[in-house]
Structure 1
Amino acid sequence: MGRRFFSPLTSDAVRPSENAAPSAGESAQGRVAPDPSLGALIGGETLRALFQPLVSLSAGSIFGYEAQLRGPAGSRLESPGALFRQAAVEHAVEELEFAALRAARRCWEAQAPPGRRFVNFGTHSLLHLVGRGGIDRFLAAITAEDLPATNLVIELTGHERVRDVRSLRRIVDALRAHGVAIALDDFGDGRSSLRLWAELQPEFVKIDQFFVKDIGRHSYKVQTMKALLQIAPTLGGQLVAGGIESEQEATILRDLGLPYGQGYYFGRPEETPSHAIAPLALASLKKREIAVLASFATSIAQDISAEHLINEIAPITPEMNNAQVIERFQQNPSHHAYAVVQDGAPIGLVNRRVLMDRYAQPFHRELFGQRSCCVFMNEAPQLLERSATCEQMMQMLTSSDQRYLTDGFIIVDGGRYVGLGTGEQLVRLVTESRLEAARHANPLTFLPGNIPINEHIDRLLRGAGPFTACYCDLNHFKPFNDQYGYWRGDEMIRLLAGVLVTTTDNRRDFVGHVGGDDFLVLFQSPDWQQRCEKIIGVFNDRALQLYDPGAIERGGIEAEDRDGRPAFFPLTTLSIGAVCALPRAFQRPEEVAAAAAVAKRRAKRSHQGLWIDEGRR
């Protein structure tokens, strides 16, 4: 057992007495002993540290460990949260912080894990303890001959607003003079600031796990990481992404250029630290496949739903008469309609204007005032699930039933009433989302446009891994569009976009919309050929549903050709031209796009559906 290092600030009130109760599991009778007091833990040696690895994302190796405080196993004060909550109650936070340093030192002496040693310490506690006890006493609690200060990283927790930045900077400079590095913890959680980063210029900045979780689904998190990578060289410090829990998160952060990462995906906090990351995690970091980054437009499409349109207006029941509904409208001038609900499910919609117009007619008040509100309700109102996507809301806008513009519509959750929406809200939400998407991608499909396509090809070329570029184009689409109109044509383009997205692997494969009926899919999936064949089969089958029965029976439509002459055109089908790109087969994105376009033309001439450029294998 290591030597005992007491905090110079620990009072007798928090030191253990000789008659203190034994810690958990040490009862003489073999029974589980009662939880020790916080004072006993601070003054004793039963606090412990677990070690979680920090990993180099480019090399796939461990470069350090963070010591994480724990109380006696199985006790009420085992978790760090419970320890610090109790310390706050007993006004002993600084003493606990110092005891945590001593616990980390003991465990490091026993385990001797290699690399950098990260330990957490509150900024206010650092100011008070070092200000009163001096740097030398502070370092004596955490360093030793075989644990030099040059391997130590003090991780400043960002849970408190720092007012005396000047004094903190002096302490940080003094620690650096002894070889200690500084890390800024949980950057971006709302309590740490760019000013503190600029003032302290820490060697490491640990990014809050909020910006890491599900980064593959949220473009704004990708953009945040890119912005932090751009300012890091100016403000100083290397970035560490915290809370990595999946392969996708790890590979996206690696591809973005984050130098270091930490999280359960690489290893959980353990008493005996592993000297290598898990084999699966190592294999994922060594893959030459690049991650597919979420597009801003796709994020918009995923994040927008009918949830944004809900007006929580209390419904009416069939038992209410028209006079009562009129009174409700008069009491609530902003309400445009009321849903008629029975047993939680909507059965109709009463529109203010319709009811008022009917009521204004001669004798209607006398004839219908006491009759059920169902008399004047719309028995077949538009229903919209609260989870409805932007695409589904767009379908409502283009439907033949346009009563929603005046009546509004009912929003349900599994068929049960949750609220009302207005036509004005629906038009505004869909229009604004499409305008925003148009800045980043094709507004019809929300898929990335030419600029993101070229950026992804460039990343593939720099990654030096094999990939397949597949150019997708529709056969005989113009006659179909001329015959049925651009709304039906847009529907066919969205159909193709949906088939492409659902048949590809969004973790490996990138789907872009070049424009019109042209799409480019960049495959890293090894079974890309089978996926392409499935895409062609599924699309060709579903596209039939957009034709009338007569056209299907004839196998095509009569329309004008490009010279204005009548001609017969077969039903619309899909052609895909594929170019297999091995490392160094291409140098620039435009070379890949040009080769894929040539393959597409050959696919259309061959009438085979899929044509593969064998010369690029």
Structure 2
Amino acid sequence: MPSTSDPLALFNALLDTQALQYEFQPIADIGRASVLGYEALMRGPQGSALRSPEELLRAARSAGRLAELERAACLGAIAAFPRLGLPGKLFVNLSAPLIEHFALDHGRELLQHAHEAGLSPDRLVLELTEHERVEDADGLQVAMKVLAARGITLAIDDFGDGRSSLRLWVQLRPQIVKLDKYFVHGLQRDSRKLEVVRTVLRLAEVLGTPLVAEGIEDAAELAVLRDLGCDYAQGYYIGRPAAVPASSLSSAVLKVLGSAKISVLPTLSRRQRVGHSVDRLKMAAPAVAPDLASEELFRMFGANPDLHAVAVVTGGLPLGLVNRRDFVESYAQPFYRELNSRRPVRQFMNADPICAERSAPLDSLINVLAGEDQRYLHDGFIVTEEGRYVGVATGESLVRAVTELRIEAARHANPLTLLPGNIPVTEHIARLLDARTSFAACYFDLNNFKPYNDLYGYWRGDEMIKLAAEIVARHCDRMQDFVGHVGGDDFVVLFQSDDWAERCERIVAQFNREARRLFDVRELQQGGFHSEDRRGFRAFFPLTTIAVGEVAVSPGQFRDPEEVASAAAAAKKIAKLSPDGVHLAGIAMGVPRLATTSPPNASRLSPH
């Protein structure tokens, strides 16, 4: 062969002598815990400048022989794969033009090579891999139908990378779609990627197309995909490309796929919805021109008793806002009406009103509530669309809506610790119950926290709660154990770690030790502190400690999250009376099922 110093000459010789080499990467069937097949990856000579596929493709473009390279790689992989005696399907990458080329003779060339190599058509998968945009989707659709009729499977590669579009998926109707590795990498830590994958999986279900998740690099990513219901998986963790790959999945992969434990999914942030935009507050209201006589505006307010303010608008653009109460009260002054009835309303308006786009999130108006100028809460504000007037809103409705949002947000994530709140905890319990896996529901609560908070103030109280959250989370396996903050000084941990009981003991011991630094010397010396009890009487309290009620949950023991939460809360109450602050409501003690008459919801996870 030519010198490696001349890559182009080396490439031409390589292609002319059909000296391409191949490596094969396994693809796992997640549900069956077996090998689905292998993707063929072309390689140049070992140690040469053309070893990688990227360099081969670059040289092919320079030589004007890209189509020849693709064809040779496809047919060469078909010939090489059966010789390895590997199970499953062979996945081969092809561009749209080459798929159309192979369809011209109704797949005879492909089928002939497959027959000679001993590969049946139903084991061959052609992956549409596009480095350029598909120009003739209709022609490609016809070609794929021709090849599919001969028993060949068609797939779309790298869905979501910007080239493999949703339109191609719907129009071409492939039998398999491969999800781009970007969305898989770090999936277990990124709630945005998690939501994207969930959405694509729902789409795959609607379109009846199994999904291959590419780029899996560790057990955590595979576990999440398994729990989400993904069909197939590919990546270095499943198996690296090799000239002679293993014929079965590794023991590490089989352990993940066979595990009864479910992965802890990253908590999704509260999404902005239509009801969470300024449009939610908008009230349709008439507007007036700046030159309108004030007497006319007075009559308008009289005819519309529910109108709290009127916008002054010209050419559709807001100029100011006239508050009803201020205007009417002024008119009630002696001689005011006689002196001002003919004056234009622009002389009575607030010329610097707040204008908010109807699509803007409500959170964008938080500064109005926190600002020193409370006139804006009194006057209300103008709602616009692309800068043009569409209505008005009251300060009262803004306060109410923001309060509701804060309450809802706290149910999803505690604002102090940012740990998941009631709703995510309840959802995770439901996942554990549905998976019929064993776990431990442990309810942590601080002893004597309220009197501590009353004595030292909210800032020190918050520090105590944050210390508890930090210590609880530190002793949990973030991939197996779900940590939730369900309000005040109450935490719930759903353990799947086998040593969960020891972890709870370490949490109690460390917190009781470190919490002492949040007390003053006098309280430490006397072993407690004086504060008011719940009835308002002065009393002495021991130093703040943490208690944990533990419930070991076995498959089928509880019917719903409500029962689990009730059992954990009951165990916590007993733990708070225990000398060591720990109470295990174990199966060995014959814990009864705790039926309730209240409907299933997250209420049992609120502080007790």
Say yes or no: TM over 0.5.
yes
Alignment partner of 2:536: what SS? coil
In the TM superposition, residue 143 of structure 1 has moved relative to its aligned partner by 4.8
Match in the other structure for 1:194: 166
User: Using a 3 Å threshold, how does the CA distance of structure 1 residues 537 and 563 change in structure 2: closer, same or farther?
Assistant: same
Asked if residue 99 in structure 1 is aligned to residue 67 in structure 2, the reply is no
Q: Does 1:66 align with 2:39?
A: yes
Displacement, 1:515?
A: 1.0
Q: Which amino acid aligns with 2:215?
A: G
- Cα deviation, residue 444, structure 1: 1.3
What SS does the aligned partner of 1:576 have? strand
Cα distance in 2 for residues equivalent to 1:226 and 1:57 = 16
Distance in 1, matches of 2:82 and 2:489, equals 65
Amino acid at match of 1:463: A
**Residues of 2 paired with 1:496 and 1:112: CA distance?**
57
CA deviation profile, 1:366-407 (whole Å, cap 9, x unmatched): xxxxxxxxxxxxxxxxxxxxxxxxxxxxxxxxxxxxxxxxxx
Distance 2:552 2:420 in 1: 22
Distance 1:488 1:236 in 2: 56
* 8 Å contact kept, 2:30–2:233: yes
Match in the other structure for 2:373: none
Offset at 1:134?
5.7
Residue 485 of structure 2 is aligned with which of 482, 488, 513? 513
C-alpha spacing 1:506/1:560, structure 2 compared with 1 (3 Å): same
User: In structure 1, what is the Cα distance between the partners aligned to 2:103 and 2:477?
Assistant: 56
Letter in 1 for 2:266: A
1:448 aligned partner: 420
**3-state SS of the aligned residue for 1:501?**
helix
**Cα distance in 2 between the residues matched to 1:275 and 1:511:** 40
- Please state whether the residue corresponding to 1:198 is helix, strand or coil: helix
Counterparts of residues 358-437 of structure 1 (less than 5 Å): none
Does residue 581 of structure 2 align to residue 581 of structure 1?
A: no
Name the structure 2 match of 1:37. 10
The reply on whether 1:76 has 2:56 as its aligned counterpart is: no
Report the CA distance shift for 1:93/1:34 in structure 2 as closer, same or farther (over 3 A). closer
Partner of 1:395: none
User: Which secondary structure does the structure 2 equivalent of 1:522 belong to?
Assistant: strand
1:303-331 CA distance string (max 9 Å, x none): xxxxxxxxxxxxxxxxxxxxxxxxxxxxx
Q: Which runs of 5+ in 1 are unaligned?
A: 1-20, 25-31, 300-432
Match of 1:254 among 226, 248, 252: 226
2:24 corresponding residue in structure 1: 51
Contact 1:65 1:117 in 2 (8 A): yes
Q: Distance in 2 between matches of 1:294 and 1:158?
A: 32
- C-alpha separation in 1, matches of 2:10 and 2:427: 59
> In the alignment, what sits opposite 1:493?
465
Which residue identity does 1:209 align to in structure 2? K
- Per-residue CA deviation, residues 522-557 of structure 1 (Å, 9 max, x unaligned), is 111111111111111111122122222212222222
Q: How does 1:237-316 map to 2 (within 5 A)?
A: 237-297=209-269
Q: Does 1:175 align with 2:147?
A: yes
Cα pair 2:410 2:421 within 8 Å, conserved: no
Aligned equivalent of 1:462, options 415, 434, 437: 434
**Shift, 1:246, TM fit:** 0.7
Q: Secondary structure at the match of 2:576?
A: helix
Q: 1:158 aligns with which of 113, 130, 140?
A: 130
2:183 is equivalent to residue 211 of structure 1: yes
Tell me how far 1:36 sits from its aligned partner. 6.3
Residues 202 and 236 in structure 1, CA contact (< 8 A), matched pair in contact too: no
Q: Is 2:526 the partner of 1:554?
A: yes
Shift in Å, 1:445:
1.0
Q: Displacement of 1:474 after TM fit? A: 0.6
Measure, in 2, the Cα distance between the counterparts of 1:288 and 1:248.
Answer: 14
Residues 562-577 of structure 1 aligned to structure 2 (within 5 Å): 562-577=534-549
Aligned equivalents of 1:84, 1:439: Cα separation in 2:
53
1:77–1:518 Cα change, 3 Å? same
Q: Secondary structure at the match of 1:184?
A: strand
The answer to which of 37-46 and 554-563 deviates more is 37-46
2:63 to 67, 78, 90: 90
CA displacement, residues 246-295 of structure 1 (integer Å, 9 cap, x when unaligned): 11111111011111101111211122232111112212211111111111
Check conservation: 1:580, 1:616, Cα contact below 8 A: no
Return the letter of the residue paired with 2:542. Answer: P
CA distance in 2, matches of 1:439, 1:293: 17
SS in 2 for 1:101: helix
Q: Go from structure 1 to structure 2 and tell me whether the alpha carbon gap of 1:143 and 1:93 turns closer, same or farther (over 3 Å shift).
A: farther
Q: CA deviation at 1:142?
A: 4.6
Q: CA RMSD in A?
A: 2.5
Please report how far the alpha carbon of residue 81 of structure 1 lies from its aligned counterpart in structure 2 after TM superposition. 0.8
Match of 1:146 among 92, 115, 118: 118
Contact 1:298/1:447 (<8 A) preserved: no
> Could you list the per-position Cα deviations for residues 478-534 of structure 1 after superposition, in whole angstroms to 9, with x for gaps in the alignment?
111111222221221111111111111111111011111111001111111111111
2:66 maps to amino acid: V
Q: Which residue of 2 aligns with 1:532?
A: 504
Question: Residues 443-484 of structure 1: CA distance to partner in whole angstroms, max 9, x if unpaired?
Answer: 111111111111111111222222111000010111111112
Alpha-carbon offset, residue 106 of structure 1:
1.9
* Runs of 5+ unmatched residues, structure 2: 272-404, 590-608
Contact 2:79 2:113 in 1 (8 A): no
Q: Deviations over 1:28-51 (max 9, x none)?
A: xxxx99996222222323112211
Q: Which amino acid aligns with 2:55?
A: A
Cα 1:92/1:297, change in 2 over 3 Å: same
8 Å Cα contact 1:158/1:187 also seen in 2: no
Equivalent pair of 2:444/2:492 in contact (CA under 8 Å) = yes
For the 8 Å contact 2:103–2:147, the answer to whether it is kept is no
Secondary structure, aligned partner of 1:274: coil
Give the Cα–Cα distance (whole angstroms) in 1 for the partners of residues 434 and 521 of structure 2. Answer: 50
Contact persistence 2:216–2:237 (CA under 8 A): yes
Kept in 1: contact 2:107–2:150 (CA 8 A):
no
1:605 aligns with 2:605: no
C-alpha distance 298-134 of structure 1, shift in aligned 2 (>3 A): same
Residue by residue over 1:348-377, the C-alpha shift from the partner in whole angstroms, topping out at 9 and shown as x without a partner, is xxxxxxxxxxxxxxxxxxxxxxxxxxxxxx
Question: What TM-score does the superposition give when structure 2 sets the normalisation length?
Answer: 0.71
2-structure distance, mates of 1:436, 1:66? 47
Contact 2:103 2:146 in 1 (8 A): no
Partner of 2:483, secondary structure, is strand
Matched residues, number: 457
Structure 2 SS opposite 1:37: helix
Look up the SS of the partner of 1:489 in the other structure: helix
Distance 1:201 1:293 in 2: 31
Shift of 1:91: 1.6
Structure 1 residue 585 displacement after superposition: 1.6
Distance 1:77 1:571, change over 3 A: same
Question: Measured at CA, do residues 35 and 197 of structure 1 come closer, stay the same or move farther in structure 2, by a change above 3 Å?
Answer: closer
Whole-Å Cα distance in 1 between the matches of residues 141 and 269 of structure 2?
42
Q: Deviations over 1:136-187 (max 9, x none)?
A: 2344445547212121110111322112111010001111110111111111
Query: How far 1:607 moved relative to its partner?
Result: 3.1
Determine if contact 1:582/1:616 at 8 Å carries over to the other structure: no
Which amino acid in the other structure matches residue 72 of structure 2?
A
Secondary structure of 1:605's match?
A: coil
**Residue type matched to 1:611 in 2?**
H
- Report the AA paired with residue 485 of structure 1: G
Q: What amino acid is aligned across from residue 612 of structure 1 in structure 2? A: L
Indicate if the aligned counterparts of 1:101 and 1:141 stay in contact, CA closer than 8 A: no
Stretch of structure 1 that moved more, 138-147 or 566-575: 138-147
